[in-house]
Structure 1
Amino acid sequence: MITVRGVVDRVGPTLLHVRLDGAAAHVTDVVIAEPGRRDQVGDGDLVLGVSVHSTADAVELVRHCGSQGAAAVLLKPPLPTRTAVRDAARTCELALVEVDAGAAWAQVVWLLRSVLDAAADESELGDTHTGGLGDLFRLADAAAAVVDAPVTIEDANSRVLAYSARQDRTDPARVSTIMGRRVPDDVLARFRSRGVFRELSRGRTTIFVPAQQDGTLPRLIVPIRMGGELLGSMWAVVPGPVPAERAAAFADTAPVVALHLLRRRATEDAERRRWAELVRSVLAGRGSVRLAAAELDLADEPHRAVAIASQTQDTLGAEGMRLALWERITAGVGRRPAVAELHDVLYAVVPDRAGNGGWPSLRAALAEDRTPPLVAAGPAVPLAGLPESRALAVELLSLLRAGLVPGPVTSHEEAWPVLVLHRAAVAAAGAGTTEFGPLPLLRARDEDSGTAYVDTLYEWLRHPGDPRAASRALRIHPNTLRYRMAKLIELAGVDLEDPDVRLALLAQLTALRWR
């Protein structure tokens, strides 16, 4: 845990200067305040006013960040010294930090995130020799010195784990990679089209990629392997072909990085398993829900159990899906989400409120995927009611998989009518209620003659007194509907003027349709 003053002290007075102290006890993340998109600001954030150029805009940003619990707003001069801006920050108890006028915002982001990552490593692992992120950043600096170029260290999923401090050579691909903490999809596609990832998987010692027409600078890439497993890779932004001796020296750093990645993965896996077991206990109602919720940092407010599953047979895999979900619901939140995998379904416990980490933001983020997963949210309940919310989420997920509920994302509030009909249909079918009356005769005629009496009767009963709506549902002309109904009544000898007959038939047809 690190304070605003601690961050500024580590970055140094050349770039940052605290103009006004705030009340926030700690800093969690770095957020860029984009025009019209300030909902990503969360508790403990350092908010960069990249696009803020007027006093009025600065005051508005400070007030919004103060209301969201941010730690500080970073602005370039003269805005941090303006009286209106300072008064707004003082009222919100928000820290004001001045950024050197000549500093590049990208450089500020890199430095701030480097400081926060190193601080998190020191806080969580305690010892700088346990192979955490602090060591990885130092290794990135060492590798950069060996190859004489800026370096990033990435895992096997192209997520950025560390990067060197030197920034003398860069391009848009490197900037977007570091700022987004992973290689963007379009950059991945460009390198994939050049066979880079195929070469990585084949075990090449070094891979040189020439400059590209879009302005992407040359790269020297080294795979990070241990025992035949590809753990990640190191990417250096180079001016051109690298001498063989220097390239070999760069490759020689890979085994050292591999040891740190393995040690880091073992530590994270153990912590993740412990965390997931806490989530499972809360979802199952085992043990003390209060104690588990306190350790998971779940506030005493309504939460939802959310069930998530891939739509394809070639799934992301539980680990890949978990990582993707963690990235979405921790963006700008600064806390670990309550996530666990059980029986090939990923579960998340999320608060039922607007803002980062809540159900609405998670829903929007997951729905934006190119191949969005199936997502079903149970009702919002107190923490003790999460087992019931999870049970309903599982049931809704099964309805999504069966195509009975429009997806790919749904919630209890949207799908409860289908839930009721499905449960009623299953119970009715189990009791054999579809075998009574004229329905078996109509079904047999449809099977033998290719008629559509069962569907016609179902829509006619669903739209009482509205033959036009019923015909639209069947995609036929109203006169065709009337003709079919006349033939149906004649064939079945059924009295549709009797309300009990209509209700019984609708119950039978519902059982057939929704079970």
Structure 2
Amino acid sequence: MLDVRALVDRVGPTLLRAVVVPESPACVGDVVIAEPDQHPTVVDGDLVLGVAVADREQAAALVRICGDQGAAAVLLKPPVSADERITAAAEESGVALVEVRPETAWAQLVWLIRAALARTGIDEADARSTGVGDLFRLADAVADVVDAPVTIEDAHSQVLAYSARQDLTDPARVSTIMGRRQPDDVLAKFRARGTFRKLSKGSSAIFVPAQQDGTLPRLVVPIRMGGELLGSMWAVVPDQVSEERATAFADTAPLVALQLLRWRAVADAERRHSAEQVRLLLEGGEGWRVAANELAVPNEPHRVIAIEMPASAGPAEGHRLALWEWITRGIGRRPLVTEIGAMLYAVVPDRDRGGWLELRTALASHDMSPRPLIAVGTAVAVAELHQSRSQAEELVSLLRTGRLQERVAVYEDYWHLLVLSRMAGAATDAGIGSLGPLALLREHDRTQGTEYLATLRAWLRHPGDPRQASRELRVHPNTFRYRMKRLTQLVDIDLDDPDVRSALLVQLLAESWAQHG
């Protein structure tokens, strides 16, 4: 990883200048945008950009907050970046202060910083082993061939690498690189033009003209190997290019395909290793601490999300894989994901940005048919993730019964139903249904077509309120009173005794849950 000083050097002195840097500068993890009058949620290693923070008091407060929360650096534009109060606040807080040149566009800066972070260590041995560095170098080489900025994307439009050239760009390219994948609205525009349909069928370069919203022309070429579409390359061009240059661009696709296959093989191996470490975390045995260190799990509360495809989905493996890919692409820092049996699990921090709340919103809106069963355990310390997993699994079992219709069920919201579920299981095992007068009422309902058990349950649920009880049964209050009178004539039951009422309610609840569970 890059520390603050190395990042400033990598992005370059034409855009950034280090004002205050601690003796041991922190390594940079991600980029966070801080708006005026808003306190950003920061985790260790975040690089906080003070977009539009021009007030000196706001800037000083931002620096102190970021220092307290472990940010790596705060980036501000002059004149506030050179203010003595702000530099003093940075020194006191132990956070780096970096000046952004006045003419620098924030969007471009985010792009360049993330480019630098994505390329961290690409010249080192570990990058050579993963192929990430080769993909970036290859993107630079292809950009030279086509004489235009290039992105290399997988079959899901996720950006794998991009060239260093920035001489020709537009908001769509900036958004694509900042978000590490093509935004949905950009994808929709290219789909409307038939770009992806042509990619799925052909092998030559495709020219996409400029669009009315300012999106520049694109030259796109599919990346194939053995008939399989592995991804695509996108070049931002000023206008229609010559046939020779388009052909040269397309001719680079087989070389990129070989590199993508290598990258995918390494990525699959890394994913399997990561999944094994996550399994160790969820099992809660002696290996959890080593797994947490290897996965660099932050020391903060986390939740376990359990996801199960319903039986109606048919073969579930393909659906789980699609969900796996979607989850690990979608939200902030990649959630930790693994499979155990037929269940998919994700471990996410219990926070908004880049954590559980953000993922919850995405899961609730994610359109998949048939809909998966999604349950979430409580927030726990990393050492207790096995408990959150157990809670999520128990809630999945409740979702299977169909009693809940929510897209995402959270343990804290449905603990009372889990109490009833556990009670029903224990009561059934203990054989309590055979005790007392319920057996006689049950037999009478079966042979005579009466509804005494349902009537008694409604009475117990709404004591002293026959109108509400009759409304639950959808009968007239007089009908309900008549049924209760006949019921007490049929069996000897003291409904004035609170212990009798409690025992009857436990029996009826256990029977109801057993029938629908």
Contact 2:433 2:511 in 1 (8 A): yes
Which residue pairs with 1:50 in the alignment?
A: 51
Contact 2:460 2:505 in 1 (8 A): yes
Which residue pairs with 1:148 in the alignment?
A: 147
Contact 1:24 1:44 in 2 (8 A): no
Instruction: Work out the CA distance in 1 between the residues paired with 2:8 and 2:408.
Output: 42
Which residue pairs with 2:510 in the alignment?
A: 511
Task: Sort the Cα spacing of 1:241 and 1:473 in 2 relative to 1 into closer, same or farther, 3 A.
Answer: farther
Q: CA deviation at 1:455?
A: 3.7
Correspondence list, 1:37-436, <5 A: 38-122=39-123, 125-128=125-128, 130=129, 132-298=131-297, 303-309=302-308, 313=313, 317-328=319-330, 331=332, 337-351=335-349, 353-354=350-351, 356=353, 359-360=356-357, 362-367=359-364, 369-370=366-367, 374-381=373-380, 383-405=382-404, 407-434=406-433
**How far does the alpha carbon of each residue in 1:442-475 deviate from its partner, in whole angstroms, 9 at most, with x for none?**
5677678887554443232123334454455456
Contact 1:405 1:415 in 2 (8 A): no
User: Greater relative contact order: 1 or 2 (C-alpha under 8 angstroms, separation 6 or more)?
Assistant: 1
Q: CA deviation at 1:195?
A: 2.7
Contact 2:378 2:412 in 1 (8 A): yes
**How far does the alpha carbon of each residue in 1:31-63 deviate from its partner, in whole angstroms, 9 at most, with x for none?**
222457654432112222223232233223222
Contact 1:39 1:356 in 2 (8 A): no
Which residue pairs with 2:17 in the alignment?
A: 17
Q: CA deviation at 1:3?
A: 1.1
Task: Sort the Cα spacing of 1:222 and 1:97 in 2 relative to 1 into closer, same or farther, 3 A.
Answer: same
Instruction: Work out the CA distance in 2 between the residues paired with 1:469 and 1:94.
Output: 63
Q: Secondary structure of 2:414's partner?
A: helix
Q: CA deviation at 1:362?
A: 4.5
Q: Which amino acid aligns with 1:263?
A: R
**How far does the alpha carbon of each residue in 1:259-292 deviate from its partner, in whole angstroms, 9 at most, with x for none?**
2222122222212212211221232244533333
Q: Which amino acid aligns with 1:317?
A: H
Q: Which amino acid aligns with 2:390?
A: A
Contact 1:340 1:346 in 2 (8 A): yes
Contact 2:374 2:408 in 1 (8 A): yes
Instruction: Work out the CA distance in 2 between the residues paired with 1:487 and 1:211.
Output: 81
Q: CA deviation at 1:339?
A: 2.5
Q: Which amino acid aligns with 1:325?
A: I
Deviates more, 1:396-405 or 1:314-323: 314-323
Q: Secondary structure of 2:409's partner?
A: strand
User: What residue ranges of structure 1 are gaps of 5+ in the alignment?
Assistant: none
Task: Sort the Cα spacing of 1:320 and 1:47 in 2 relative to 1 into closer, same or farther, 3 A.
Answer: farther
Contact 1:24 1:70 in 2 (8 A): no
Q: CA deviation at 1:81?
A: 0.6
Deviates more, 1:495-504 or 1:484-493: 484-493
Contact 1:222 1:235 in 2 (8 A): yes
**How far does the alpha carbon of each residue in 1:405-458 deviate from its partner, in whole angstroms, 9 at most, with x for none?**
463333333322211211222333355544565546656776788875544432
Q: Which amino acid aligns with 1:387?
A: H
Instruction: Work out the CA distance in 2 between the residues paired with 1:492 and 1:220.
Output: 83
Instruction: Work out the CA distance in 1 between the residues paired with 2:231 and 2:122.
Output: 20
Q: Which amino acid aligns with 1:54?
A: D
Instruction: Work out the CA distance in 2 between the residues paired with 1:205 and 1:24.
Output: 48
Contact 1:11 1:111 in 2 (8 A): yes
Deviates more, 1:225-234 or 1:429-438: 429-438
Contact 1:405 1:418 in 2 (8 A): no
Q: CA deviation at 1:232?
A: 1.0
Instruction: Work out the CA distance in 1 between the residues paired with 2:299 and 2:170.
Output: 46
Q: CA deviation at 1:296?
A: 3.0
Deviates more, 1:2-11 or 1:27-36: 27-36
**How far does the alpha carbon of each residue in 1:167-212 deviate from its partner, in whole angstroms, 9 at most, with x for none?**
3333332222121111112222222233322322224322232333
Task: Sort the Cα spacing of 1:211 and 1:356 in 2 relative to 1 into closer, same or farther, 3 A.
Answer: closer
Contact 2:34 2:48 in 1 (8 A): yes
Task: Sort the Cα spacing of 1:66 and 1:472 in 2 relative to 1 into closer, same or farther, 3 A.
Answer: farther
Contact 1:20 1:95 in 2 (8 A): yes
**How far does the alpha carbon of each residue in 1:225-271 deviate from its partner, in whole angstroms, 9 at most, with x for none?**
12222211111223333332211111111112122222122222212
Q: Which amino acid aligns with 1:289?
A: W
Instruction: Work out the CA distance in 1 between the residues paired with 2:354 and 2:183.
Output: 22
Deviates more, 1:29-38 or 1:46-55: 29-38
- TM-score with structure 2 length normalisation? 0.86
Q: CA deviation at 1:354?
A: 4.0
Q: CA deviation at 1:105?
A: 1.8
Q: Secondary structure of 1:126's partner?
A: helix
Contact 1:374 1:407 in 2 (8 A): no
Q: Which amino acid aligns with 1:202?
A: K
Deviates more, 1:222-231 or 1:56-65: 56-65
Q: Secondary structure of 1:102's partner?
A: coil
Instruction: Work out the CA distance in 1 between the residues paired with 2:147 and 2:450.
Output: 77
The number of equivalent residue pairs is 508
Q: Secondary structure of 1:317's partner?
A: helix
Task: Sort the Cα spacing of 1:503 and 1:138 in 2 relative to 1 into closer, same or farther, 3 A.
Answer: same
User: What residue ranges of structure 2 are gaps of 5+ in the alignment?
Assistant: none
Instruction: Work out the CA distance in 1 between the residues paired with 2:440 and 2:203.
Output: 70
Instruction: Work out the CA distance in 2 between the residues paired with 1:79 and 1:391.
Output: 51
Task: Sort the Cα spacing of 1:486 and 1:189 in 2 relative to 1 into closer, same or farther, 3 A.
Answer: farther
Task: Sort the Cα spacing of 1:307 and 1:209 in 2 relative to 1 into closer, same or farther, 3 A.
Answer: same
Task: Sort the Cα spacing of 1:127 and 1:239 in 2 relative to 1 into closer, same or farther, 3 A.
Answer: closer
Q: CA deviation at 1:116?
A: 0.8
RMSD (Å), alpha carbons: 3.2
Identity score, percent? 58
